[in-house]
Structure 1
Amino acid sequence: MDYFLDKERMPSLLAPFFTLSYPVATPNDPDCFPNATFYDIGYADICFVVSLIALLAVLRDGSRLLVLEPFANWKLTRDWRRRNENPKPFANGKSNGHAASANGSAKSLEQNGVGERLQLRTDSPEGRHIHRSTLRFAEQGWLTVYYCFSWSMGLYVNMNLPSDFWSGYPHIPLPGPVKLYYMMQTAFYFHLLLVINAEAPRKDHWQMMTHHVISCALIIASYAYNFTRVGCLIMVLMDWCDIVLPLAKMLRYLSLQVACDITFGIFLISWVATRHILFIKVIISAYSDAPRLIPFDWIPERGYYLTHDVYVIFVSLLVSLEIIQSIWSYRIFAIAWRVVMGYGADDDRSDEDE
């Protein structure tokens, strides 16, 4: 990593966009990442975040257009063709010919001669449904890919940090992996704010916007005010469910309903454990342990930024996140009830095209 983050290898004007800024000497006896390069924080970090946002946009479109959409379109079109080329007979033993003719969807087929493969018309109801499912699959596929990477990196970072995330405040300078993890997550949440309106709208659009804005505020404030250790813990807690839920949606868009329901069950357990039990424990710790272990002092030259107002704002933002997640929990348990009743997991946000 140090090779790629070496400022000596590029022009000074470009360095902040492609390297971590503000390297400092390694502290004596660091309590984490003893072999890493350590960094201070500053406004030049914005340049690196901007570059990461651009990189995420390229990776998102590349993965969607080159891998995820072609795969989903191939899979769904193949399944449609198999259903129509191999129709099931009627119960009385008489063949129903092409299934599309029997159910009134013959306009979806194009067949120019005997032995030729059925072709799906893109302007037919089935064609539009496959196109919409393909786009949805790609959107969720990109989220699954990113969150797998970010959760793995977050797990690595947290395994190397002390379990007590309040003692030793202020936690500066930052080891390289912690700073890179923060830069990456900051870039991703701003990236989400940019693309949320590009995707087909959901019923909870404004809830999602509020969630992303609060998340951005917490990430930036915890970074600027040196509360990065609790921030790293919160981000890794959040990321796990964001792997499982998009994966369940991907399976649904591929019409793999049983696998979708099983994955949704795993998500349900994960959601309760991480977004409620563990996250509420973090909120309680921020409310009770932070003021007990950290003095209320505003000494910027020493990295102390905890005042009573800052404390109230942090706790309020965390509680706001929990309120939004509780609202989502109502919808999640409603879907779980549908699964129990045999209707299958179905996200009623996902087919809103208005």
Structure 2
Amino acid sequence: MNTPQAAEWLPSFLVPFFTLSYPTEKPIYTDSFHDSAYFSTGLLDGCLIISYIAIMAILRDFTRIYVLEPFARWKLTRDWERSLRPTIDGTGTPNGSAANGCTVHTGKEDASPSMSKKQARKMHRSVLRFAEQGWSAIYYSIQFSYGLYVHCQLPTRVLNPTALWLNYPHAPLAGPLKLYYITQTAFYSHQMFILNAEARRKDHGQMMTHHVITVFLLVASYFTNYTRIGCLIAVIMDFSDILLPIAKMFRYIGLYTLCDITFGSFLVSWLITRHVLFVIAIKSAWFDSVRLVPENSWAPERGAYFSEITNNTFVSLLVFLEILQVVWFWMICRVAWRVLTGQGASDHRSDEEDIVEDKGD
């Protein structure tokens, strides 16, 4: 436990839930984070993951209920009210007056008609979806920024990732890198709960599979000291995950032009990060690792778990993720085709409630 960094009033059994566990001496030679504290890994790290899951749940609900939902409801309500205002035709006569056979304008404001049940349901769904995507955009923006900071401190490079394998195993871990891993694991674990709490979407199975594999890879790479490639891949993945929620947010509040522009940027970023940079990382794990890591590197007593079985397992799971992302990219391209043909970007991950109501109305 990390008792020296914990508050004096905190009971000892709660210390792992609020501090990084397993502090250790700084290595004599460090190629990064020269001024940071260093830590080993262990099962007590799961306590801090649990704490972060709870914190994320609280922050998500607070942000969604008290910030994002009120804003989306105000924006959509204002737009709906503006759409009811009579427009002025070329003769200066308000459309909807007696001149075209409708009600006579008396000079007093007519009471606005109440919103239909269908419109109310649609607005309610848009408000909820906007808030859900807003939390994702906030989280990924913060986590990508922090991950980019961690990555820039490491001697690894995206286009030439050979340093991922030099001097393996990379243990103990610098505090910032350990914290990054713990928060990433907590987030994707939290997302698994969210997927089952929200309305089920068409790709529920694919998303759950993605999150399960991601959590497994994070935990396994953490304890086998594959943390440098794990950090690299996490940073690569997070960037495009910022743009997609923002594009959806624009769509849910009716800013369709901004939605299409942001979606186009997301499409380019997805292609570069998920199908170019990610493939480079997989290639490095497949070929550079066996070339640069010494053959007899299975030595758990010093944190070395590199072997043909472990490496092939990691590579296989990464390849599976890439296949899953190719399927998603096909779906993304279908949306892009809708944009190019003037139909606008739409969310193919519609939930079952939307489908039922669209068929019933």
**Deviation per residue, 1:176-203 (Å, 9 max, x gap):** 0000000000000000001101112211
**Aligned to 1:151, which of 126, 130, 144?**
144
**Whole-Å Cα distance in 1 between the matches of residues 252 and 180 of structure 2?**
31
Q: Could you tell me which residue of structure 1 aligns to residue 359 of structure 2? A: none
**Whole-Å Cα distance in 1 between the matches of residues 113 and 95 of structure 2?**
22
SS in structure 1 at match of 2:197: coil
SS in structure 2 at match of 1:261: helix
**Whole-Å Cα distance in 1 between the matches of residues 82 and 255 of structure 2?**
15
Q: Please say if residues 5 and 18 of structure 1, whose CA atoms lie closer than 8 Å, have aligned partners that are also in contact.
A: no
**Whole-Å Cα distance in 1 between the matches of residues 142 and 195 of structure 2?**
20
5+ residue gaps, structure 1: 103-113
Q: Could you tell me which residue of structure 1 aligns to residue 125 of structure 2? A: 132
Displacement after TM superposition at 1:291 (Å): 1.2
Taking the TM superposition and a 5 Å limit, the aligned residue runs for 1:1-354 are: 6-7=5-6, 9=8, 10-87=10-87, 95-96=95-96, 115=109, 118=112, 120-121=114-115, 124-163=117-156, 164-294=163-293, 295-353=295-353
SS in structure 2 at match of 1:232: helix
**Deviation per residue, 1:37-63 (Å, 9 max, x gap):** 100000000000000000000000000
Displacement after TM superposition at 1:312 (Å): 1.2
TM-score (normalizing by structure 1): 0.90
**Deviation per residue, 1:46-100 (Å, 9 max, x gap):** 0000000000000000000000000000100110011012357599x78236xxx
Displacement after TM superposition at 1:7 (Å): 2.7
Indicate the larger mover: 5-14 or 290-299: 5-14
Displacement after TM superposition at 1:13 (Å): 0.9
**Whole-Å Cα distance in 1 between the matches of residues 145 and 50 of structure 2?**
23
Q: Which amino acid aligns with 1:180?
A: L
Question: Quick one: structure 1 residues 221 and 83, their matched pair in 2 at CA, closer, same or farther if it must change by over 3 Å?
Answer: same
Indicate the larger mover: 304-313 or 233-242: 304-313
Q: Which amino acid aligns with 1:304?
A: A
**Whole-Å Cα distance in 1 between the matches of residues 21 and 257 of structure 2?**
48
**Whole-Å Cα distance in 2 between the matches of residues 13 and 252 of structure 1?**
47
Q: Could you tell me which residue of structure 2 aligns to residue 110 of structure 1? A: none
TM-score (normalizing by structure 2): 0.88
Runs of 4+ in 1 over 2 A off after TM superposition: 7-11, 85-91, 93-97, 114-121, 295-298
5+ residue gaps, structure 2: 103-107, 157-162, 357-361
Taking every aligned residue pair, what percent have the same amino acid on both sides? 50
Question: Quick one: structure 1 residues 120 and 285, their matched pair in 2 at CA, closer, same or farther if it must change by over 3 Å?
Answer: farther
SS in structure 2 at match of 1:301: helix
Q: Which amino acid aligns with 1:139?
A: E
Q: Could you tell me which residue of structure 2 aligns to residue 107 of structure 1? A: none
Q: Which amino acid aligns with 2:112?
A: L
Displacement after TM superposition at 1:269 (Å): 0.6
Q: Please say if residues 5 and 19 of structure 1, whose CA atoms lie closer than 8 Å, have aligned partners that are also in contact.
A: no
**Whole-Å Cα distance in 2 between the matches of residues 4 and 69 of structure 1?**
40
**Deviation per residue, 1:234-282 (Å, 9 max, x gap):** 0000000100000000000011000000001100110000000000000
Displacement after TM superposition at 1:205 (Å): 0.8
**Whole-Å Cα distance in 1 between the matches of residues 113 and 192 of structure 2?**
38
